[in-house]
Structure 1
Amino acid sequence: MTHFDHIHAVVTDIEGTTTDIQFVHKVLFPYAYDQLPEFVHTHQAQPEVAEQIAAVRARLDEPDAPVERVIETLLHWIESDQKETSLKALQGMLWADGYQRGAFKGHLYADVVPCLRRWVEQGKKLYVYSSGSVQAQKLLFGYSTEGDVTPLFSGYFDTHVGHKREAASYRNIVDTLALPAEQVLFLSDVIEELDAASEAGLQTLQLVREGNRAGSRHPHVTRFDDISL
């Protein structure tokens, strides 16, 4: 059991932390890859889709790029697991349709939700910080294998606050929470993310799930129920 004192808020990663990383890479990404070309073609005139198409063109510095070029770029970003905000937004739209149609449910490890409920009962505030869009985060927790658990969370953060391996991103989160950094605990499976959070003054804990290795710079556990706040 790993104990932390004076924690008022917990910020958790998703992939490899609350959720099997294979769910994202073997279910969500392939679904988006398969559905994206037709979705962009069909919905390109809708404002929310047009906005992301324009963002891709701006990222390419090709303001007149044809839609096929945009789609080709998006598919390449999926293949190479790029953390592009416009891609994440479009993936969120695609996943919304899949979740709502029951094509899949968001995976959560069995140890996660009981601990989240206990922490909320103890008065802790819970937040999510993932490279996936806020919309995608809400869908995963809203249509999860444990039902709708979104009421447990007080807020969500994505790459709009910055990238997860940069200390400034965690400073932005702490500023938003209006708490001293040392009263915030960040959970992740990725050492570089934990390093960035620690640099920003947060307390950190690594989740070592299947296939992951523990680092030496941060305390680590294998399950949420090994965490004591």
Structure 2
Amino acid sequence: MSNPPSWIVLDIEGTTSSTESVHVGLYAYARPRLGPWIDAHRDDPDVTAAVAETGGATAEETVAILHGWMDGDVKATPLKTLQGQIWAAGFAAGELTAHFFPDVPPVLRRWHEEGRRLAVFSSGSVASQRPWFRHTTAGDLSVLVERHFDTVNAGPKREPGSYLKIAEALGTPPGDLLFLSDVPAELDAAAAAGWRTTGVRRPGEPSEAAGFGAHPVVASFEEIEEIK
């Protein structure tokens, strides 16, 4: 790259953090709390809207649908909304701590000190992204991240239009944006929108053996030479 990107946009699951920490840790925390959370927050318009979008006729049916989505790792917006609220409460209560790969926090801090602007684009809701970066074993990383995007305010992660929307929101030409992800299809969509891309191939992660095509690939953030 001839010039460093203006913004570095981060995926979370499998990129900054292990998939297991989300699927095992966070999912296990949210699963038994979905029903009680809905019952306790029926006056919350976001909860009401999420419940309506599931299509469940009863409380039991709604929870069953949500659990089915969790089992199938379906990126459904109502589920993400409710999970995000539950996780935020768990982080605030000190019952949850976010996992980050060891190479990530020091590199994020260095990029921030160098003037790189950081954003997140994850299928997890913005409500869950913020506490995830705030409550980590490496301290508060949320102060490093300026903008947060999810499938609600940006769109699906595998569609170029979502990346064009983010570029517009950041007021930055697509060619000045770098997206880091472990999912080739997401990188393809970002590249189709004119973004720079780098694949992250983490040992033991689901995309470890994936084909990244023409995208540059690293195993650690420390290997991303072009933005040092």
Q: What TM-score comes out, normalization by structure 2 length?
A: 0.92
Task: Answer yes or no: is 1:87 the counterpart of 2:102.
Answer: no
Indicate the larger mover: 214-223 or 131-140: 214-223
Q: For this pair of structures, how many residues does the alignment match?
A: 221
Between 159-168 and 67-76, the greater mean CA deviation after superposition: 67-76
- Alignment match, 1:70: 62
Q: How does 1:1-229 map to 2 (within 5 A)?
A: 5-57=3-55, 65-160=57-152, 161-211=154-204, 212-213=208-209, 214-228=211-225, 229=227
What is the CA–CA distance in structure 2 between the aligned matches of 1:4 and 1:164, rounded to whole Å? 27
Deviation at 1:4, TM superposition (A): 6.5
Comparing 114-123 with 196-205, greater Cα deviation is found at 114-123
Return 5+ residue gaps in structure 2 as ranges.
Answer: none
Amino acid at match of 1:194: L
Secondary structure at the aligned position of 1:159 is classed as coil
What are the Cα deviations for residues 141-185 of structure 1, in whole angstroms up to 9, with x where unaligned?
011111211110110000011110111110101111111111100
TM-score when normalising by structure 1? 0.91
Give the stretch that moved more between structures: 209-218 or 135-144: 209-218
Alignment deviations for residues 29-84 of structure 1 (CA, whole Å, 9 cap, x no partner)? 11111211222223223333222212323xxxx7xx22222111111111111111
Answer with 162-171 or 115-124: which moved more. 115-124
Instruction: Measure the CA separation in 2 of the matches of 1:46 and 1:7.
Output: 40
Q: Percent same amino acid among aligned pairs? A: 40
d(CA) in 1 for partners of 2:192 and 2:174? 10
Amino acid at match of 1:144: T
Q: Over aligned residues, Cα RMSD in angstroms?
A: 1.5
Instruction: Name the aligned partner's letter for residue 39 of structure 2.
Output: H
Q: Work out which structure has the larger RCO, using CA pairs closer than 8 Å and 6 or more positions apart in sequence.
A: 1
Q: Secondary structure at the match of 1:103?
A: coil
